[in-house]
Amino acid sequence: MPIGSTPLPRPPAAPPARTPAAPSSRTTAPAAPPSRPGKSVRPAARPEWLALKTHAVKVGPMHLRDMFKADDRRGSKMCAEAMGTGIYLDYSKNRVTDETLQLLFKLAAASEVTQKRDAMFAGHKINTTENRAVLHVALRAPKTATINVDGRNVVPDVHAVLDQMMAFAGKIRSGEWRGNSGRRIRNVINIGIGGSDLGPVMACEALKAYSQRELTFRFISNVDGADFHEATRDLDPGETVFIICSKTFTTLETLTNANAAKQWVVTTMRDPKAVAKHFVAVSTNEEEVKKFGIDPANMFRFWDWVGGRYSMDSAIGLSTMIAIGPENFRAMLAGFHAMDNHFRTAPAERNLPMLMGMLAIWNNNFLFGAETVAVLPYSNYLKRFPAYLQQLTMESNGKHIDLEGMPVAFETGPIYWGEPGTNGQHSFYQLIHQGTRLIPCDLIGFCQPVDGSSAEQHDLLMANLFAQGEALAFGRTPEQAIADGVPAALAPFHVCQGNRPSNTLLAEKLTPQTLGALVALYEHMVFVQGVVWNIDSFDQFGVELGKHLAKGTAAEIAAPRAAKTTRDSSTSALIKRYQRFRKAT
Ligand code: F6P
């Protein structure tokens, strides 16, 4: 589809036959999806949705060049700041008009985004497939707040765990906490996967400049033993503490790595009692933690109303707190909370999560059918941010069944990916600028560097960010290429069509507070999208199938080669071949 010219809006998807999707026997989802009598919500059948479809036909042919020419205040009009967070969003380089925004807000209103947002903040069980409240916002609520779940105010529980974390973090940072042989702890290793890994990894990297540099932080997630080996090979177990992070404490990867760690510590130190000084747990499952051999006094709790991918500000953030210190951790929570307040109170047209959520819906469902979003942080410290966002966005909104158990009639969660600028510029940006696909971009930058990097170098970094947004939007015409000295015959190759949409997020400095606000912005953006698509953004039954199959496959691999298999011919031939060569080596 030619991007710079007139992308025809996709033909309206024929609403699928409204037959309920067959419930999977492998998941723990309730057999009958929660029904909401009298509330048959079909987003694609809403008049507001259809109005956007019609409107997209009008906007499709427009070019950002002309939109900017027609209104020289566009750049200062189509922007908003989330007060109290320091985060500024320029969305003027999206292919939208004022009318588009009004229509998007009407769709949000018809979808009851604000009512559902309020229900989430009030602790209602909006994760209907799992019958759970969704209360990551309680993790950063001030001590004085009241948020009830099943009649119990959960805020004091949150603060009690924060106090426990602060005490432990303080002891590791000061050297008061000693290993089994009396030595000071110098290495902190987080063992967890998914939400029990990606948030801490990202935050520790993002806030490295604020961290206690004498301590080494490592993260083990993969069941591939290489991950464990590389993380521990040069460390002394006597100076190492493991934080075993698992909401369920049953996850195969985490338990396998935790057992490997226990064996490493106990055999190297020749003392089974060493576990007490070298292992702590973060979990909701006290029984399994005890079974593993960790004293519940060294367990940091969280609750079923915290989703794994929404947990980096819970006790799952213990490694982050040890790295940056309790005060900085509190500042990060304050940043989260400031964005929560902004999301709760700002009107739609100045509400960053609402704007970003609805603009992404516009790109995904109406104008372009954009299948992906590139997240391009112009900060090397944010190099793990795209990976973090992948779980947040794709595990949340990668759903094809709506809240009533029916297949959706439109695309849901786009694919999020990215790399920090400027590295990506010398790699995949070519495709974004001149390829045939439309890839909306989120450019993220900061006005001040956090480290010792010079002002000149930071100016260069930011010059690249601004230049990329400009190039994406306005491109380069054949006339401009020729005026720049390109021979006429080569001009077509130098043309960049432009009209590629982007958001620019700008903050003063990458501080703990800013990071909290930035993550909360994306959390709430995901929420807005999920509400409009009428899906459950808080379950993840899709990941269960692979887990379930892997257990059976592992048993089959361990069985003799001649053993009977019930698998398909491809998988069973692969297993047999693996068994043959595994034996040979
Ligand atoms: O990968 C699926 C998942 O269920 C994620 O949602 C979760 O963050 C991760 O596994 C880890 O789960 P746990 O914290 O229970 O070990």
Q: What is the pLDDT along the chain (585 residues), one digit of tens a residue?
A: 334 433 333 333 433 434 444 433 333 333 334 444 445 669 999 999 999 999 999 999 999 999 999 999 999 999 999 999 999 999 999 999 999 999 999 999 999 999 999 999 999 999 999 999 999 999 999 999 999 999 999 999 999 999 999 999 999 999 999 999 999 999 999 999 999 999 999 999 999 999 999 999 999 999 999 999 999 999 999 999 999 999 999 999 999 999 999 999 999 999 999 999 999 999 999 999 999 999 999 999 999 999 999 999 999 999 999 999 999 999 999 999 999 999 999 999 999 999 999 999 999 999 878 999 999 999 999 999 999 999 999 999 999 999 999 999 999 999 999 999 999 999 999 999 999 999 999 999 999 999 778 899 999 999 999 999 999 999 999 999 999 999 999 999 999 999 999 999 999 999 999 999 999 999 999 999 999 999 999 999 999 888 888 888 888 888 876 667 778 999 989 998 998 888 655
Q: Which atom of ligand 1 is nearest to the CA of 253?
A: 16
* pLDDT at site 435: 96
Tell me if 364 CB under 6 Å of ligand 1: no
152's enclosing H/E stretch is strand 152-153
Tell me if 104 CB under 6 Å of ligand 1: no
Q: Which amino acid appears at position 458 of this protein? A: H
Which of 251, 310, 397 for mutating ligand 1's site (highest number of atoms within 8 Å of CB)?
251
Give yes or no for a contact between 301 and 290, defined as CB atoms under 8 angstroms apart. Answer: no
498: left (phi over 0), alpha (psi -120 to 50) or beta: left
* pLDDT at site 342: 98
Tell me if 248 CB under 6 Å of ligand 1: yes
Taking each helix axis as running N to C, give the angle between helix 512-533 and helix 198-206, from 0 to 180 degrees, rounded to the nearest 10: 140
Distance CA 499, CA 479 (A): 17
Which of 129, 132, 196 for mutating ligand 1's site (highest number of atoms within 8 Å of CB)?
196
Residue listed under structure tokens 């990060």: 332
Tell me if 311 CB under 6 Å of ligand 1: no
Q: Residue-wise over 82-117: b if at least 16 C-beta within 10 A, else e?
A: beebbbbbbbbbbbbbeebbebbbbbbeebbbbebb
- Cis bond before residue 422 (omega within 30° of 0): yes
Indicate the pTM of the whole model.
Answer: 0.93
Give yes or no for a contact between 356 and 521, defined as CB atoms under 8 angstroms apart. Answer: yes
* pLDDT at site 417: 98
Structure tokens at 81: 């700041």
Q: Which atom of ligand 1 is nearest to the CA of 193?
A: 11
CB count, 10 Å around CB of 361? Answer: 25
Distance CA 356, CA 429 (A): 22
Q: Which atom of ligand 1 is nearest to the CA of 543?
A: 2
Distance CA 439, CA 374 (A): 7
Structure tokens at 404: 């009533």
Q: What are the φ and ψ backbone dihedral angles of 211, each rounded to 5 degrees?
A: -90, 160
> Which 3 state secondary structure label does DSSP give 111?
coil
Distance CA 506, CA 497 (A): 25
* pLDDT at site 519: 98
Return the closest-CA partner of residue 243 out of 202, 185, 184: 185
Tell me if 283 CB under 6 Å of ligand 1: no
* pLDDT at site 556: 85
Alpha-carbon separation of residue 258 from 172, 250, 266 (angstroms): 20, 11, 12
> Which 3 state secondary structure label does DSSP give 485?
coil
* pLDDT at site 562: 66
Q: Which atom of ligand 1 is nearest to the CA of 309?
A: 8
* pLDDT at site 200: 98
User: CA angle 187-310-513, nearest 5°?
Assistant: 70
Ligand 1 center to 214 CA (angstroms): 30
First CA to last CA distance, the chain: 50
Which of 219, 248, 397, 547 for mutating ligand 1's site (highest number of atoms within 8 Å of CB)?
248
Return the closest-CA partner of residue 130 out of 390, 316, 307, 389: 307
Point out the residues that are catalytic: 395, 426, 547
Tell me if 194 CB under 6 Å of ligand 1: yes
Return the closest-CA partner of residue 527 out of 40, 117, 105, 34: 117
CB count, 10 Å around CB of 509? Answer: 13
279's enclosing H/E stretch is strand 279-283
Q: What are the φ and ψ backbone dihedral angles of 2, each rounded to 5 degrees?
A: -70, 125
Ligand 1 center to 478 CA (angstroms): 51
